A and B are shown apart, each in its own frame.
Chain A
Amino acid sequence: MGNSYFLRTALNAIRKHRGLEPLDAMDFLALLKDKMKFVDMDQALMSRSLNEGFSGGEKKRNEILQMAVLEPTLAILDETDSGLDIDALRIVAEGVNALRNNEHAVLVVTHYQRLLNYLVPDFVHVLLDGRIVRSGDKGLALELEETGYAEFERAAGAASA
């Protein structure tokens, strides 16, 4: 199915749920062009079939575009930064930065601090064995980059012993 058509169907399903009028093809195209600017996506990808022959980076960009268009109340980005080059990483981060505000929250799951060079988190939580073991602000992420996770694992091991 066409990528653009899929996205419009999804957006209109969500708009309907929010009590908004559906967007027609022209209005949608205008919105799409606007949103595509910051994901730096080739226009040709929109007329291609959804995820068919997309490279890893293209899939990620497409996901960020979907997020930008659909504007979810809560978006969960689970290891979106894995396997991305620096440019794609920046695009993912910019996508998140553009979306987040008082009405739209983003939960980013990552192993690396690198993404956080572009994306400044409000909260950082460390999750270990399914439990949050420590919370903090952006400083915690920097600290972890220095010390690693070993400290938490030792603490957890000691606690359970």
Chain B
Amino acid sequence: MRDVDIHLQNFAHLNGSAPASVQQLRRTALSRFAELGFPTTRLEDWKYTSVARLARTPFRLAAAPARVTADQLADGTLSGASQLVFVNGRHAPELSALRPLPPGVRLTSLAAAFCTDAALVETHLGRYADYTGAAFAALNTAFIQDGAFVFLPKGAIVTDVIHVLFVSVGSGEPTIAHPRNLIVAEEGSQATVVETYIGLGTGAYCTNAVTEIAVEPNATLVHCKLQQESDAAFHVATVQARQDADSRFASYVVSIGGGLVRGDINAVLDAPGGSCTLDGLYLAASRQHVDHHTSIDHRRPHCTSRELYKGILDGHATGVFNGKVFVRPAAQKSDAGQVNKNLLLSEDAVINTKPQLEILNDDVKCSHGATIGRLDEDALFYLRARGIGADEARRLLIYAFANEVVERVAIEPLRARLERMIASRFHDAGAAEVAK
């Protein structure tokens, strides 16, 4: 049996009604996935990340609903936010709670939007994330069933954070969920959307998520993805944004959990005057493998992009960062800056980092840089000379390294939540206090 067959079989069990256009999209994507197969390390984009173990695992579609109580979610929730909760990929209304929203704003499950907002769904779904060349996006598209649907009409400003929480409940048998999110920010609208992925229970499972984001003229969208899957999890996810004129898109990724993690974050600056920032922080230890591929495509003039990705790897962890910046011939006056910094805490940790600029216009400002280093001995000495013990000094420096990304998040309590996540990752009471 081929690796893809189990997923072709799962397709027969896919239930939940969907409009004809979505059903057509699913079938097209499935046959594309069957043609592509799972990526191998012979492909440049997968050179350092083998998904052989994922491909061999006979995943069944995650069964819903699993029983989850509000208490179990406590760590994953975000205070003051509108919250949509999904358990094993399906909307859990009893765990969700929305804050008052401006008129016309839609914040529902995608499955519900198939009925209530069919026209909007048809206009945008599957239009941005490439399912013809990317196998995991194709697989996700074949299994589009549920996820978050966020629609901001012209001029709508949502001040409360929109939090979408995906909970996977391991059951022993390996299961897979394909969350699909669609965010549409119409002209001049503003919102912050946070996606959190957490795992409960034990056993292997796979999350294969895709988020499509349309940022229309002069709209502002802040998107934050927090990955805290359980150790045995596979997490593969794509965030795909298309930006219109003078739009602003800020993406933050914080990756902490999971056994094998691959995140693709792609922004297309498709009209003049757009700006985007892609910031990320990945922490990995023991035998975790975490891979981030980002792409910023300057297609039109006068767009700005900034990127900062930082990684901290310990134990036998392996990491990959690949940051592509394209500047197309038409994109004069592009301004792009990219930085990737890595901190290796052990002899055995490995990072493969590759900044990749393709510049096809000569009137641009582009910079990139990548660093790999250890903890700064001089800084350790400075702290120790002032009475701080060796372990505490180490923790402080690690925390400070990570904090450069976190402090860019302007929104409380989101930043506080990130600080807590990082502190707990280092099992550090001291850093936990910083977060207060």
A82 at interface by CB-CB < 8 Å? no
Q: Which of B248-256, B268-276, B358-366, B386-394 contacts the other chain?
A: B386-394
A10 touches B387 (CB 8 A): yes
CB neighbors of B among A62-113 (8 A) = 66, 70
A10–B434 Cα distance when bound, in Å, is: 14
Contact A13 B392 (CB under 8 A): yes
Contacts A6-B383, A9-B396 given: A1-B403 contact, CB under 8 Å? yes
Find out whether the CB atom of B388 lies under 8 angstroms from the CB atom of A9: yes
In the assembled complex, A155 has its CB within 8 A of some CB on chain B: no
Q: How far is the CB of A36 from chain B (nearest CB, A)?
A: 17
- Given A1-B396, A6-B396, answer yes or no on A13-B436 (Cβ-Cβ < 8 Å): no
Contact of B434 (CB < 8 Å), options: A5, A11, A13: A5
A11 to B399, CA, bound (A): 18
Residues of A within 8 A of B434 (CB): 2, 5
Count chain A CB atoms within 10 A of each CB in B396, B397, B403 and give the residue with the most: B396
Main secondary structure of the interface of B (DSSP, over half): helix
Contact B399 A1 (CB under 8 A): yes
- A5 cross-chain contacts in B, Cβ below 8 A: 434
Measured CA separation A133–B156 after assembly (Å): 79
Bound Cα distance from A1 to B400, whole angstroms: 5
| A9 partner residues in chain B, CB cutoff 8 A | 388, 392, 396, 430
A14 in contact (CB, < 8 A): yes
Contact A25-B436, Cβ < 8 Å, known A9-B388, A9-B430, A13-B392: yes
The answer for the CA separation of A17 and B392 in the assembled complex, in Å, is: 14
A24-71: which have CB < 8 Å to B? Answer: 25, 49, 66, 70
For the complex, is B347 an interface residue (Cβ under 8 Å from A)? no
Q: Which listed residue (B386, B387, B433) contacts A25, Cβ 8 A?
A: B433
In the complex, which residue of chain A has the Cβ closest to the Cβ of B433?
A: A25
Give chain B nearest CB distance to A109 CB in angstroms. Answer: 16
Q: How far is the CA of A1 from the CA of B423 in the complex (A)?
A: 13
CB–CB A13/B400 < 8 A: no
Residue numbers in A under 8 Å from B389 (CB-CB): 13
Most buried by B among A5, A11, A25, A70: A5
- Please report the total number of B residues contacting A with Cβ < 8 Å: 15
| Residue with the greatest number of chain A CB neighbours at <10 A, chosen from B387, B389, B399, B403 | B387
Give the Cβ gap from A9 to chain B, nearest Cβ, in Å. Answer: 6
Question: What separation, in Å, do the CA atoms of A2 and B387 have in the docked complex?
Answer: 17
Contact partners of B430 in chain A: CB under 8 A:
9
Q: Indicate with 1 or 0, residue by residue over B399-436, a CB within 8 angstroms of chain A CB atoms.
A: 11001000000000000000000000000001001101
Bound form: Cα–Cα A70–B383 in Å? 12
B315 CB to nearest chain A CB (Å): 24
The answer to whether A70 touches B386 (Cβ under 8 A) is yes
Bound complex: CA A1 to CA B379 (Å): 11
In the complex, chain A residues whose CB is within 8 Å of the CB of B403: 1
Q: Which residues on A sit within 8 Å (CB–CB) of B400?
A: 1, 49
Residue of A nearest to B430 (CB): A9
- Among B387, B396, B397, the residue within 8 A (CB) of A14 is B387
Q: CA–CA, A25 to B403, complex, Å?
A: 20
- Nearest-Cβ distance from residue A107 to partner chain B, whole angstroms: 15
A3 to B354 CA separation, bound complex (whole angstroms) = 34
Q: How far is the CA of A70 from the CA of B388 in the complex (A)?
A: 11
Chain B nearest CB, measured from A49 CB (Å): 8
- Tell me, rounded to whole Å, the shortest Cβ–Cβ distance linking A94 to chain B: 21
* A14, closest chain B residue (CB): B387
Enumerate chain B interface residues (CB-CB to A < 8 A). Answer: 383, 386-389, 392, 396-397, 399-400, 403, 430, 433-434, 436
User: What are 27 A-B contacts with C-beta separation under 8 Å?
Assistant: A1-B396, A1-B397, A1-B399, A1-B400, A1-B403, A2-B434, A5-B434, A6-B383, A6-B396, A9-B388, A9-B392, A9-B430, A10-B383, A10-B386, A10-B387, A10-B388, A11-B387, A13-B388, A13-B389, A13-B392, A14-B387, A17-B387, A25-B433, A25-B436, A49-B400, A70-B386, A70-B387
The 10 closest A-B pairs by CB, nearest first: A1-B400, A14-B387, A10-B386, A13-B387, A13-B388, A10-B387, A10-B388, A5-B434, A1-B396, A9-B388
The residues of A with any CB-CB pair to B shorter than 8 Å are 1-2, 5-6, 9-11, 13-14, 17, 25, 49, 66, 70
